Amino acid sequence: MKAHDRKADSTHDHDDDHAHDDDHAPGDAAHDHGDDHDHANGGGIGGFLKSLFHLHGHAGQRQALASDTAFAANEEGIRTVWIALAALTLTTALQIGIFAISRSAALLADTIHNFGDALNSIPLLIAFYLARRVATRRYTYGFGKAEDVAGIFIVLSIAVSASITLYESFQKLFNPVPIQQLGWAAAAAIIGFVGNEAVALLQIRTGRRIGSAAMVADGTHARTDGITSLAVLVAVGGSALGYPIVDPIVGLLIGVAILFVARDAVVTIWYRLMDAVEPELVERIEQQARVSPAVVDVHEARVRWLGHRLQVDLHIVVDEDLSTRASHQIAEDVRHALLHDQPQLAIVNIHIDPCGHSGADPHREPAHHARPTASGLIASERV
Nearest CA to 128 out of 146, 141, 153 is that of 146
Q: Are 213 and 272 in contact (CB under 8 A)?
A: yes
Query: Of 371 and 298, which is predicted with more confidence?
Result: 298
pLDDT tens track for 74-126: 788 888 888 988 888 888 888 788 777 776 666 776 777 677 777 777 888 88
Domains of the chain (ranges; CATH) run: 68-273 (1.20.1510.10), 277-378 (3.30.70.1350)
Angle between the N-to-C axes of helices 105-131 and 69-102, in degrees from 0 to 180, rounded to the nearest 10? 160
Sheet holding 345-354, edge to edge: 2-4, 345-354, 309-318, 297-306
pLDDT tens track for 324-348: 999 999 999 999 999 988 888 888 9
The rounded Cα 276 to chain-centroid distance in angstroms is 13
Q: Are 307 and 148 in contact (CB under 8 A)?
A: yes
**Alpha-carbon distances of 267 from 130, 159, 313, rounded to whole Å:** 24, 14, 24
What pLDDT sits at residue 65?
A: 39
Question: Is residue 375 scored above 90 in pLDDT?
Answer: no
pLDDT bin (cut points 50, 70, 90) of residue 14 is very low
Residues in CB range of 1: below 8 A, 6 or more apart: 324, 327, 328, 331, 351, 352
Query: Of 151 and 230, which is predicted with more confidence?
Result: 151
**Alpha-carbon distances of 353 from 320, 327, 331, rounded to whole Å:** 8, 9, 11
Per-residue HEC secondary structure of 247-268 comes to HHHHHHHHHHHHHHHHHHHHHH
Helix or strand (DSSP H, E) at 351: strand 345-354
What pLDDT sits at residue 353?
A: 92
Helix or strand (DSSP H, E) at 180: none
Strand 345-354 relative to strand 309-318: parallel, antiparallel, unpaired? Answer: parallel
